[in-house]
Amino acid sequence: MLFRAFAKINLGLKVLNKRADGFHNIETFFQQIDLHDDIAIEPTSDGRIHLTCSDKDCPTDAGNLAFRAAAMLKKYLNAPSLGCRIHIEKRIPMGGGLGGGSSDAATTILALNTLWGASLPPTQITELAAGLGSDVAFFTIGGLALGTGRGEKLLPIDDKISYTGILVYPGIHISTPWAYKNLNLSLTNSDKIGKFIDFIRELGRFDQWQSRLPNDLEAPVFRVHRSLQNIVAELYSAGAFYARMSGSGSSLYGLFDTPGKAEAAQSLLKNRRQAKLFIPIYR
């Protein structure tokens, strides 16, 4: 069977502090978008997990989150005879801050929960997914959600906010651990700590997004990659009401209140060949 694993963008990302376990407490709005990988999954009874991928740089063993997701669910179900064949057709850029690997993993868990006849409830699926990575839990619920903790504590938001986005992937791989390591927490505007949840009621006020939804990881990344900061400025110049780096980068996006404005802006960008239109998707 064929399944779609959708990407996400981070609408702002506030880094609050570093935890004893080495992770950071954050606040962010996760937003699922219509860019997606295609995943073909076939259940087998040979007890093995076979994974292939269209991208030669994509691991096909335990280095792949989707592989680990299948192995984790198999172990949790205590069913040694269960197996599967997984093929991932990659469209979400790897290392771009769009959650492609995490989405592949969540989609694999959701699919195998049905294909293997496990029928675990959604809350249990999300709890299992959180053990694989900070973003994986979000992709089991999708849509729009506030993420706190290390990103695994989720508050689903039912509002359906309409806009069209431009996504630019400049082809630079940013290591998430590097971005956090090089973040100066003393400069992350502590007065805004804990404010994302207060902004939920005002998400329809596009004029407030730029000031209310910062991405703290832009500072260390833009210091090294000034070209990324220039792309954000270019998106604003083209008429975006909000433009940010997604997660730890290097993907950047600009949001426009009408499809026509987004299409017009896309034609103006220097990186227009790397720019793709997208829309948010909701549960």
Contact in structure between 29 and 196 (CB atoms under 8 Å): yes
Using CB atoms within 10 Å of the CB of residue 78, give its burial: 0 to 12 exposed, 13 to 18 middle, 19+ buried.
exposed
Which positions ≥6 away from 274 have C-beta within 8 Å? 168, 169, 170, 171
> Which residue is catalytic, options 8, 14, 90, 192?
8
Percentages (nearest 5) of helix, strand, coil residues in the chain: 35, 30, 35
Q: Which helix (H) or strand (E) holds 276?
A: strand 275-278
191 carries an active-site annotation: no
If we measure between CA atoms, which residue out of 39, 42, 31, 28 comes closest to residue 4? 39
Note if 270 is an active site residue.
no
The answer to whether 11 touches 29, Cβ cutoff 8 Å, is yes
CA dist., res. 95 & res. 75, Å (int): 28
8 Å CB contact between 108 and 4: no
CB neighbour list of residue 94: distance below 8 Å, 6 or more residues apart: 55, 57, 58, 100, 101, 173
Question: In one letter, which amino acid is 9?
Answer: I
Which one of 37, 104, 135, 216 is the catalytic residue?
A: 135
User: 32: which strand partners?
Assistant: 8
Query: Would you name the residues annotated as active-site residues?
Result: 8, 135
